Each structure stands twice: as structure tokens, then as C-alpha cells.
Amino acid sequence: MVANRFVLLATLINTFLFNGALYSFIASNLDLTTLSGLSIAVSVFVIVFIVNLLFISLIIIITPILVKPFLILTAMINSFALYYMVTYQIILDKTMMGNIFNTRSSEAFELITPTLLLYLILIGIIPSWLIIKTRIKSINRGKIVTQLLIFMVLGIYFLYINSSSWLWIDKHSKLLGGKILPWSYIINTARYYSINLKSSDNQVLLPEGKFLNEKKTVIVLIIGETARAHNFHLYGYPRNTNPLLETAGVLTFKNTSSCTTYTTGSLACMLSYNSREKNAEPLPSYLTRLGVDVVWRTNNWGEPPINVTDYQEASELRKNCIGEGCNFDEVLLSGLSQRIQSSNKPKILIVLHTKGSHGPSYYSRYPPQFEKFTPVCRYEEISKCTQQELINAYDNTILYTDYFLYKTIKILKKLKGIPVMLIYISDHGESLGEQGLYLHGTPYMFAPDFQKQIPFLIWMSNDFTKLKGIKNIPQDNQYSHSNIFHTIIGAFDIKTKIYNRNLDVLH
Ligand SMILES: [Zn+2]
């Protein structure tokens, strides 16, 4: 096949085969029986065609040897990407690319399903095989450039006479851009890494702080995963998903929203003194530097780079853990009481980063006795389950979280004479099929409240309320992840310039 024909064919394949998610978004958001709807749809199609033609022409002109490997590699990745976009309504923007690169391989395996393999064969392997089979003859750069110019002039002319479409395209540009394969993930991966390189530069140290007293204080911060306020009985959910916490005397902060809809963003935000400050020393490192005994225990990942006294992963804690709970979040409680009692520092911060309600395999996040709401969805492939089965499985994870928090409080209550506060806050919420959305990570502007409204609870021991002279704490104000840093600084009685008492919920 002559080279310019090959370019045209590859462009058509790229335009049609890999952009099902883009076209279905257009079909469901536009009335294609009207002239204006149709002209917008064709305009988007023309843009996708021109972008593909431009890049493929450039590659073959500059390095002809790379054009086949490039097309094969992107076809394979596209098949994965398209599957996730269609199944989970995912948008491949820069934060989603960050999520993907932060996913561990064990997590990734949970997502592999028979349908995914079908996508891989039909959209990845078969086109790749055809590309390998095709022999490219006589690469005439002049012809390729001429072809490119002709199509570009025609395309730009078409877009010009249909300029009324631009308003709609511009309004949805972020969503559309995240759906055009392969350019969405290529460009957004580059953007993710360029931003990440910047923030892994040395963190800016926070100003010095002083303890106003040396009284023993223990704070336990439990970071939830994918728990949404909507499914907590404490937040008005009709099902009793909080039978134990209801009896535990916790404060429930009714209007709490997350900073972002993904783990790494929300963790960075809740550990920062200022959510706009991307590169500041995070709370655990700051407190460790000031002399607090900081223990970070994790059954999850995604925290910013931190320096703490003890960093303990679940796999390590599991070695000395006894009982069925060790396979679940309870592993984080193994030896916790002894760790606190053996500390020789007056101020202790324990962070427990849980796996919580991480999807899509909600059913695997809790021991069997917590399967109270049935039947549950047992497929990673959400589309095989009814929405109710999915919600049942999710509600069981909340029921287990209820037990986990209650069990932690019970352990802390036994620390007689030590003032203790426990904070529980989730990193973000979750979509369980509402408006056709699943999981989380939708760009904040478009994300539904289900992904942004999170549970935020506080429990305090009697010794703690006495020590701090706490009486009434308003629970109906607007709160967010920004309150965590300042509430903990306040609870430890640290005098520092960056403390903002307006963000301290106990003040
Ligand atoms: Zn998360």
C-alpha cells in the first residue's frame, strides 16, 4: 500500500474504531435529528479526523520506522481505555491518568474481566495484526504533505462555516478532550508528569511551632476510602448502616465536602495547611519535626511524600495480627494499644489509612458476617449486576466501617487517663450508577454530590473534653478537608503562625 493511502486508512481506523465513547457522549447529549445537532456532531468528527491525520502524517514524515509500532501500541492501549470509558464512564483527564499510575497491580487485576479481553481482541489485537500485515510502499513525503494540506483546508473550511457549533464544543471541551483516543491519555499523561515533577521538588518547610503544654494527648486520624455520606445512617440514610456508632456518642458534621474526587488529591489537601499550597510540608512531617510521635499505618496508598516516626504497611502489620479481621481494615488495629502506651512522647498522632469501600469489588472489603444487605454484586464488571446489588455490597462496606470505627473507639476508651480524640473523614465519595456514573474521579466541576459529600465524625474521650474545656461544637456548619490540619494543630495546643482558628472545628 502506498504511504499516503496507509496514512488515510490509519486515520479512518483511529477516528472510527477507538472513539465509541466520544460518539456515544455526543449522541446522548445532542438531538441528531436537528440540523444544529448534526452539524455539531460532524464538526467533532472532523476535528478528530484532522488531529489523527496530522499526527500520523507527522510521524511517518519524520520517522517512518516508528509509525507501525506507534499505531500498534496505541491500538492495544486504546482497547483497555475504551473498555474502562464505556464501562465506568471514565474521563481520561490528567487526574485520572494520575489515578491509573497510582493503582497497584493487585488492584488492576481486580478490574480484568471477560469483556475486557473481548475489547482487547477486537479493538487491540485484530487491528494490530492488520497493521503488521500491511506493507507500506514508496514513502513519498510530498504526497503525504499534499494530502494533509488538502484535508486540513477542507476541514478548517467546514468548521468555519459551522462556527455556531463552537459554542457547544467549547462548553464541553474538557469532557470531549478526555474522550478522544489516543490523544487524551498521551497528552494527559504528559501533563500529569510535568505537574508531578514540580511538586516532588523539596517541600517548603512550615514555620516553627511550640507546644503550649506537655500534657499527654493522643489523636487518631482515620482516613476513609470512597465512603459517601449519603449511605451513612448517621447522615439520614434509611438503612441502618451505623448500628454501633449510633451508640458511641460521635459528633457528626452534616455538611462536609471533599477537596477532590480522587485519593491522592484529597490526601494532599487534608494534610496541607492550605489547599492551594501544592508544595508545603504535609502535617505528618511537620508534626514529626516538631517532636510529635507520628505513626502512619496504611492498608491503602496515595499519601504525599512524608517523614514520620513509624511508617507501617498492612502487609507488615499482618505478620503479628491474629484473627479474620487481619485480611481487612482491622489489621490496622493490630498492636495499636501497645504502640500508644509504649510511646515516651507526650503528643502522639496515629493515622490509619483504610481501604474502606474501595470499588468496584465492594463485596471483598468486609468479612462474611457483615453481609447483611443481600443479594450483593460479586462481579468486578458492574454492568452484570443490578444497581440494588451494587448498593447492597456497598452498604455492607459501610456497615463494616461502622464496626471498624467502633472497635477503634473501644480500644481507645481503655487508655484510661489519656486524653484521646478520634477523627474519621473519607477521602471522597462514590457514584453507584446514579446518572449512569460509577466509581469516582469525575472532574470536580461535573462531579455529583455523591462523589463530594463525605462523612466526617469526631469522638473524644472524657479526659480530652475536660483537658480542652470543650462544650458545644456546632455540627451543621460547612466543613471540608481543609479543617483537618488546623483541628489537629489546635488539639495538640501548638502555637504556630500558620494555625487558622477559624478552620479548627473544636475552637
Ligand atoms: Zn480514594
Are residues 334 and 214 located together in one domain of the fold?
Answer: yes
Distance CA 27, CA 47 (A): 16
In this structure, the answer to whether residues 162 and 290 fall within a common structural domain is no
Is the same domain home to 278 and 254? yes
Ligand 1 centroid from CA 494, angstroms? 30
Instruction: For residue 409, tell me if it sits in a domain.
Output: yes
Q: How many domains does the chain have?
A: 2
Domain for residue 344, yes or no?
Answer: yes
How many whole angstroms from 455 Cα to the centroid of ligand 1? 13
Q: How confident is the model at residue 197 (pLDDT cuts 50, 70, 90)?
A: low
**Domain of residue 339, CATH code:** 3.40.720.10
d(CA 469, CA 474) in angstroms, rounded, equals 15
Average pLDDT of the chain to the nearest whole number: 90
User: Who's near 246: CB < 8 A, 6+ residues apart?
Assistant: 233, 234, 240
Q: Answer yes or no: is pLDDT of 21 > 60.
A: yes
Please give the pLDDT value at position 259. 95
What pLDDT, in 10s, does the model give residues 431-452?
Answer: 999 988 888 988 898 899 999 9
Q: Is the pLDDT of residue 198 over 60?
A: no
Say what the pLDDT of residue 200 is: 47
284 and 246 within one domain = yes
Distance CA 99, CA 55 (A): 27
Could you tell me the sign of the dihedral formed by the alpha carbons of 84, 87, 88, 89, in that order? positive
> 96 falls in which pLDDT band (50, 70, 90)?
confident
Task: Give me the amino acid identity at 129.
Answer: W
Residues 112 and 218 in one domain: no
Quote the domain boundaries for residue 90. Answer: 3-199
Question: Which residues surround the ion ligand 1 when the cut-off is CB under 5 Å?
Answer: 225, 263, 427
Do 170 and 297 share a domain, yes or no? Answer: no
Q: How far away, in angstroms, is 264 Cα from ligand 1 center?
A: 7
What is the distance in A from the centroid of ligand 1 to the CA of 436? 20
Of 232-236, 306-310, 403-407, minimum mean pLDDT range:
306-310
Asked if residue 494 is part of any domain, the answer here is yes
Q: What is the pLDDT of residues 258-273, one digit of tens each?
A: 999 999 999 999 999 9
Contact 266, 456 (CB under 8 A): no
C-alpha cell at 7: 496514512
Residues 188 and 303 in one domain: no
Q: Per mean pLDDT, which range of 4-8, 169-173, 319-323, 339-343 is the poorest? A: 169-173
Residues 98, 146, single domain; the answer is: yes
pTM more than 0.85? no
- 204 within some domain: no
Distances from the Cα of 249 to the Cα of 234, 244, 254, 288, 493, angstroms: 11, 10, 15, 30, 24
Is the confidence at residue 137, as pLDDT, over 90? no
- Distance (angstroms) between ligand 1 centre and the Cα of 29 equals 29
pLDDT of residue 263: 93
Query: Which of the listed residues 153, 170, 199 is the one where a domain comes to its end?
Result: 199
Of the ranges 118-122, 299-303, 383-387, which one carries the lowest mean pLDDT score?
Answer: 383-387
- 218 and 124 in one domain? no
**What pLDDT is attached to residue 388?**
96
Q: How far is the centre of ligand 1, averaged over its atoms, from the C-alpha of 439 (Å)? A: 10
